Structure 1
Amino acid sequence: MFCVFGLSLHATAADSFVVKDIRVEGLQRVEPGTVFSYLPVQVGETFTDEKSAEAIKALYSTGFFRDVQIQAQGNLLIVIVEERPTISRLEFTGMKEFPPDVVRKSLKTVEVAEARFYDKALIDKAEQELKRQYAGKGLYAAEVVATVTPVERNQVAIYFNIDEGPVAKLQEINFIGNEVFSESTLKGEMQLKTGGWLSWYSRDDLYSKQKLTADLESIRSYYLNRGYLEFAIESTQVSITPDKKGIYLTISVREGNKFTVKDVRLAGDTLGKEVELMQLIVLKPGDTFSTGLLTESTKSIAELLGSYGYAFATINPQPDIRRDLSEVDLTLVIDPGRRIYVRQVAITGNAKTRDIVIRREIRRFESSWFDSEKIDLSKKRLGRLGYFTETDITTEDVPGSPDQVDVNVKVTEKPTGSMTLGAGFSSTEKLILSAGINQDNTFGTGTSVGLNFSIGKVNQNLALSNYDPYFTEDGISRYTDFFYRSSKPLYYVGDQNYQIKSVGSNLKFGVPYTEEDRVFFGAGVESYQIQTTSNTPILYLNYAQSYGIAPPGYPGILTTYNVPITIGWSRDGRDSVLIPSSGSLEQLTAEVGTPVGNMTFYRLFGQYQKYHSFSKGHILSFNGEVGYGEAYGNNPFPITKGYFVGGIGSVRGYAPGSLGPKYFNMVIGQYQPTGGQSKIVSNLEYTFPVSGSGVDKTLRLFTFVDSGNAFGDNINLVLKYSYGLGLSWISPLGPLKFSYAIPYKSQPTDHIQRLQFQVGTAF
């Protein structure tokens, strides 16, 4: 154990003298200038016994020294000091509950840290601080012993030896004074429990002061939201068993009367908008008093005033309680404060994305008044870009300008580009080669470019696409693509000459007319070529024959042309495209094959998505899709325009595109999908954080229930179902989704594929 000697105060200057020189001895780390700054005498001044005592007291009060001596040799003043040792390092053994770096930071509050001077009294405080932190975690039996070890250069190392002991578990929770609500009801509002079959995982039976504080607030809110305006928690008693393993909790409450709202009025400066503000108050006369509804009302008023530039408006509810009638009058006193203007918008975190790409989504500009609704909208619009994993918009007061704020936009970029090169093998395709380059934020300009191709024995694909969300400064978007596809439908490998080829291009524009709504229109040119032989599946032969190709048994080539027109509408109110947690997406699309070509048809598609975050990191989402197609004129519905259902993105657990009408392929002895003229798909998904990852949005688990199917000419609403578990990960290669699904009541003709993955976004 390192020992610290007591202070020695020595002075040999018995008589006064004029100081000719001052010498300091014993310094190791403290600078001589520091000592001179505390001395009450300088060269050329008279030194006395009083100044000697004053100098010793001043040097010792610095806390740098444990011994100070002052001596005189003639006219030479000698200051001899012995520095206190400094702490070289803090080490912890036996500590599992806390990270060492977090504890080191907390010990700074009691002045114990590396490079600081050692003080036995402060080390004792550090021990008590650690015990207090363990008690907050329910570890009341924790023992902390500090060992001080001298090291070189007048330093010491502090070792905290810790025995954490067992965690104290709640044995019993009791309430006193509750008459309106039962004890079981109040316990249901608490995080703390006396143990259950899931307590080994949830750890809800482990007492902590933080959990108790939150539980008391939950109980208080429960009463206040049900009219008990004068409810109070009079006392809480926490007792621990002698072995420090059990906790008994007793909560004493005073319920009071249940109050009804008699009147609600506004006071203060309403800016002439009293009627508009009154409509935002959801707590009406005759309602049972509710703190939650009152808070909702004041928040709505503050947000409305914020939209007019009064960013720091305060709404102070003043209740007038009439206990004899159990009634309360509420007066909301409004102080809008100054109208606030935006001085500047600062953007940080965008190493790649250009400022203009972010600024064009910001709905507040320099010199405009502050609008809280527009700030929230700006954050949502940035989230919808899909370029950032996190977006944060904060305001900062401008010193000396009480009517101005700076808007700070901070983004965390994610990789928006990917390059793929792969090879695969299947029993039908044999060797498959694929490659692709996709960039959603090309050179930080916000435009998307993609080039992808794959080559196999059955399918060959080449696609080039470009999307410019700001083709014009007004936000009109443009989408163009070019494609070439060659395939042998239904994996019909028995006929080497039978295939379908398609080539085409599309041009589409999107015009925004509100912050969330956009209409689309566009046109394209497509050419389809079906080469038939005597071995071609009858389904395709019949389709070819409807266009005048020779009857079955004769080879022929069917060439069809399509000049489709596309119109659509979408409303995107999601808070993020990449990781949506709230809001909804609605869209309707119609594609019409015009008589300019010989494929006369129309297809209608509708989609609705809804996201609800009911707890931090926990999201419930729904996706519904409906598609319908029909032919007009003399030709049938194009077999190349069918809807395919199955796989991740529709009904998981079934092979991609395998649901709906099927054709029996005699060559491979399997039922193969042909696609349908209509489809129905629905997905219900619950997403939650991975245990131990906090609320990390880049890695999440989800459970799901899917249903859907594709249908032929006659819609028979027989749906396929599946359920399962999955993992989503925002990886360096892009968003990845892995799912394991179990089909419900599958049929022998179904193509089951339980484990699936997808590179994409939600659903």
Structure 2
Amino acid sequence: MKNHFHRLGVRTASAVAALFFAAHAAWAIEPFKVQDIRVEGLQRVEPGTVFASLPFRVGDEYNDEKGAAAIRALYALGLFKDVRLEAVGNVLVVVVEERPTIAEIDFVGTREFDKDALKKSMREVGLAEGRPFDKALADRAEQELKRQYINRSLYGAEVVTTVTPVERNRVNLTFTVIEGEPSRIKEVRIIGNKAFSESTLKDLFDLNTGGWLSWYTKSDRYSRAKFNADLESLRSYYLQRGFLEFRIESTQVAISPDKKDISIVINIHEGERYVVQSVKLEGDYLGREDEFKALIKIRAGEPYNVDQVTETTKAFTENFARYGYAFARVEAVPELDRENGRVTLVLRADPSRRAYVRRINVTGNNRTRDEVIRREFRQFESAWYDGDKIRLSRDRIDRLGYFTEVNIETEEVPGAPDQVDLVVNVTEKPTGSLQLGAGFSSAEKVTLSFAIKQENVFGSGNYLGLEVNTSKYHRTFVLSTTDPYFTQDGVSRTVDLYYRSDKPYADQGGDYEIDTTGASLRFGVPFSEVDTVYFGGGLEQTKIKSGTNIPAAYLYYATRFGFTSTGVPLTIGWSRDSRDSALAPTSGLYQRFTSEWSVASDARYVKGDYQYQQYLPLNKRYTLAFNGELGLGKGLNGRPFPVFKNFYSGGLGSVRGFEQGTLGPRDVTGAVLGGTKKLTLNAEMISPFPGAGNDRTLRIYTFVDAGNVYGEGEKFEFSQLRASVGVGLSWISPLGPLRLGFGQPVHKFAGDRIQKLQFQIGTSF
């Protein structure tokens, strides 16, 4: 019987089908003109998707080469597991069998990872509900899941992928995990060390054999990333101390047959210790050799230090960039005198060519407007490339707080050797927060809080926040909004509405309180890239609500000047912050000055407060911190300083070991009144918590505190300072920074209220 159609393809893989079409004459047919094209087997895929992938149309001539290309194109879509081409006369029939779609992805037994995070990672590799199922992708996802468990030291984890067909050509995909127990580091050995003890070198590592806090730090769980970081710490330690030829010969990481114990052995070669003999410059330094010599951090006569070399080459490169040389190369070449243990460092420079910035592109900002990022830039388009301005621009964008990562890349412009494009890559983070919580402190007792904040409202860069705080002694309501670019020059504007109710001595049975209601308007003017001056004004009203046990000083002030005082406070302030972290600083300086002047009101006064903090890193583990605060207040126009504006001291944040806010003058009943002058001095030695490795979120500290509050008319007398010593714990907890201190007063007076153990969430020093 004569066959009325020719089969041009069979059920096969695309590569094999293409090979058959190209190489086997048995499958070849005579070319013909296509009169019609039909598609069979579609369920979810639109016919237009198939027609768009075919390399021919109705009326075109069909041949074997076009048929092979059509099959390859259809398979490449990833939508079909079978494709056939059939010819019925001059009609071409495309027969497809669709891949099943994924109906649901589920994870069973995954305690170590959040399911939503796992589904997101699966979506990134192409496995998601509603997408076509690909066995190869599922296998790859399974292997990646195993790798993630290995990264968390769960070497015994088993992953089984189950594919369950359901109706309408769909499948359910289930990853069943048996996590098992984590493998733990039982031994760390360093072999080949002579200059330094093994214990000294192992103290550099974040990975160790664990301690009683390993459940928190997980320092005894092996991680390849952490191990590599520890090897770099080891290498840097030697290279910082003159061992120029130091190298790590080999590393062995062995796991026991039961996959519970891990042994790490590091073989090193120390080499000889080298002292820098001299530093020489070679190459083109733009005729500014003296300027570059001033940037050299390497010191002749001292042991070779890789940090000094890195700082020097970086400073040279940045100095070249300052003059527009974006592609400058600086290389430090050591010339070794092994016989005498000396090294001469040759700094070779090639400035290459000068360039200017053609265009600045911003990527990754799906929510934040371009203008919010661009207005922080100090490097402009069509201007000479300036490395200082680019680095400053990157830091300013990072300080916005809207992004987890900010990177600026330089791209050459094809055909224009003197031009570059800057690409700003940002990774956005959630900038809104809704908080409902409760806290407890030794001074405040139970505190309930509510806060809703949005630091980047509608991607505009503006701030909007509402805070409510209640406690036994203090209640607060604050509504605040900030426009950081109220003017194009970067002047910020902040509007605050607030209500505060204080019961300073409720613990003594008093039921009176001080209520303050007000509004303020402040502006921040950037006088330099690091200094900002704030000024503004407001209107506030303070009510002294009489009640039992009201201190005589409050009653006296209210009787003379009224129980209600209206003020028009004008404020001016200044701040500079160079700390490496606001939560767990280890280096840097912080300064703050605020002042308040009340004019044209019932309460006439002036008040100022200055704070200075310095953090000095002694080494990787230990930090020495100093804090000083001085406050002064004075009444104007013959009036005393308002008692409700007094300074208070004692407790966390001032002088630990004494009850919160109890230092200074008192009345005949013993009620603390505060004062018009305040002095606080603190010193801390901060180190990681024993057993926590180098974790900065959990630290201990020893402290020495001194301070006091003085009343109006009293002079500063150091003999009246209260002082204490003690130890404390600092933890960046999920609820916020927590500080716990145990202080022992060493200089106190009769009647002082002692409270040795104190804690609070949110205290910064």
Residues 664 and 672, structure 1, Cα contact 8 Å, conserved in 2: no
Task: Tell whether 2:589 aligns with 1:584.
Answer: yes
Residue 492 of structure 1: aligned partner: 552
Task: Tell whether 2:229 aligns with 1:227.
Answer: no
Residues 463 and 483, structure 1, Cα contact 8 Å, conserved in 2: yes
Cα deviation digits, residues 450-482 of structure 1 (max 9, x gap): 566778957565666543334999998644466
Distance 2:420 2:69 in 1: 52
Cα deviation digits, residues 11-38 of structure 1 (max 9, x gap): 9999757454443322334555665677
Distance 1:45 1:652 in 2: 90
Residue 403 of structure 1: aligned partner: 419
Task: Tell whether 2:336 aligns with 1:331.
Answer: no
Q: Which runs of structure 2 are paired with 1:197-596 in the superposition (5 Å)?
A: 197-339=212-354, 341=356, 369-374=384-389, 395=408, 397=410, 400=413, 402-403=418-419, 405=421, 414=455, 441=483, 444=486, 446-449=492-495, 459=514, 465-470=520-525, 478-480=535-537, 491-492=551-552, 499-501=559-561, 572-574=576-578, 581=585, 583-586=588-591
Q: CA deviation at 1:96?
A: 2.5
Residue 722 of structure 2: aligned partner: 719
TM-score w.r.t. structure 1 length? Answer: 0.68
**Structure 2 residue aligned with 1:128, among 143, 161, 176?**
143
Q: 1:102 to 1:323 in 2, by over 3 A?
A: farther
SS of residue paired to 1:716: helix
SS of residue paired to 1:213: helix
Q: Which runs of 5+ in 1 are unaligned?
A: 427-431, 511-569, 594-600
Q: 1:283 to 1:368 in 2, by over 3 A?
A: same
Cα deviation digits, residues 277-300 of structure 1 (max 9, x gap): 222222223322222221122222
Distance 2:739 2:89 in 1: 90
Distance 1:730 1:120 in 2: 40
Q: 1:287 to 1:25 in 2, by over 3 A?
A: same
Q: CA deviation at 1:144?
A: 1.8
Cα deviation digits, residues 410-466 of structure 1 (max 9, x gap): 89663856678899988xxxxx99877665559956234556677895756566654
Task: Tell whether 2:663 aligns with 1:659.
Answer: yes
**Structure 1 residue aligned with 2:172, among 157, 168, 177?**
157
SS of residue paired to 2:668: strand
Task: Tell whether 2:725 aligns with 1:679.
Answer: no
Distance 1:619 1:302 in 2: 31
Greater mean alpha carbon deviation, residues 741-750 or residues 574-583: 574-583
Residues 18 and 44, structure 1, Cα contact 8 Å, conserved in 2: no
Residues 410 and 420, structure 2, Cα contact 8 Å, conserved in 1: yes
Residue 451 of structure 2: aligned partner: none
**Structure 1 residue aligned with 2:112, among 97, 109, 125?**
97
Residues 471 and 478, structure 1, Cα contact 8 Å, conserved in 2: no
Q: CA deviation at 1:676?
A: 6.7
Task: Tell whether 2:650 aligns with 1:646.
Answer: yes
Q: 1:354 to 1:449 in 2, by over 3 A?
A: farther
Residue 447 of structure 2: aligned partner: none
Q: 1:492 to 1:404 in 2, by over 3 A?
A: same
Amino acid at match of 1:467: R
Q: CA deviation at 1:140?
A: 2.0
Residue 710 of structure 1: aligned partner: 709
Identity %: 37
Q: CA deviation at 1:94?
A: 1.6
TM-score w.r.t. structure 2 length? Answer: 0.68
Distance 1:241 1:439 in 2: 59
Distance 1:185 1:123 in 2: 46
Q: 1:257 to 1:752 in 2, by over 3 A?
A: closer
Residue 614 of structure 2: aligned partner: 610
Q: CA deviation at 1:491?
A: 0.8
| Max Rg structure | 1
Q: CA deviation at 1:327?
A: 3.1
Residue 189 of structure 1: aligned partner: 204
Residues 353 and 441, structure 1, Cα contact 8 Å, conserved in 2: no
Amino acid at match of 2:708: N
Greater mean alpha carbon deviation, residues 478-487 or residues 133-142: 478-487
Q: CA deviation at 1:485?
A: 6.0
Q: CA deviation at 1:382?
A: 8.3
Residues 381 and 575, structure 1, Cα contact 8 Å, conserved in 2: no
Q: CA deviation at 1:145?
A: 1.8
Amino acid at match of 1:255: E
Residues 651 and 660, structure 2, Cα contact 8 Å, conserved in 1: yes
Distance 2:595 2:135 in 1: 80
Residue 749 of structure 1: aligned partner: 751
Distance 1:603 1:37 in 2: 76
Distance 1:658 1:112 in 2: 62
Residue 622 of structure 1: aligned partner: 626
Cα RMSD between the aligned structures? 5.8
SS of residue paired to 1:271: coil
SS of residue paired to 1:304: helix
Q: CA deviation at 1:239?
A: 2.2
Residues 352 and 443, structure 1, Cα contact 8 Å, conserved in 2: no
SS of residue paired to 2:231: helix
**Structure 1 residue aligned with 2:193, among 163, 166, 178?**
178
Q: 1:589 to 1:98 in 2, by over 3 A?
A: closer
Distance 2:590 2:194 in 1: 47
Cα deviation digits, residues 94-135 of structure 1 (max 9, x gap): 223334455456567876555555454554444333333323
Distance 1:52 1:497 in 2: 99
Cα deviation digits, residues 352-373 of structure 1 (max 9, x gap): 99979995x8655565545444
Q: 1:590 to 1:704 in 2, by over 3 A?
A: same
Q: CA deviation at 1:396?
A: 5.4
Distance 1:308 1:459 in 2: 60
Residues 657 and 673, structure 1, Cα contact 8 Å, conserved in 2: no
Distance 1:210 1:615 in 2: 23
Greater mean alpha carbon deviation, residues 749-758 or residues 67-76: 749-758
Residues 490 and 672, structure 1, Cα contact 8 Å, conserved in 2: no
Q: 1:439 to 1:406 in 2, by over 3 A?
A: same
Residues 417 and 439, structure 1, Cα contact 8 Å, conserved in 2: yes
Distance 1:588 1:61 in 2: 66
Q: 1:144 to 1:607 in 2, by over 3 A?
A: closer
Greater mean alpha carbon deviation, residues 216-225 or residues 609-618: 609-618
Q: 1:92 to 1:756 in 2, by over 3 A?
A: closer
Residues 341 and 403, structure 1, Cα contact 8 Å, conserved in 2: yes
Residues 168 and 246, structure 1, Cα contact 8 Å, conserved in 2: yes
Amino acid at match of 2:175: F
When the two structures are aligned, how many residues end up with a matched partner? 671
Q: CA deviation at 1:659?
A: 0.8
Q: 1:105 to 1:43 in 2, by over 3 A?
A: same
Q: CA deviation at 1:577?
A: 11
SS of residue paired to 1:221: helix
Q: Which runs of 5+ in 2 are unaligned?
A: 1-10, 432-453, 456-461, 502-510, 599-604
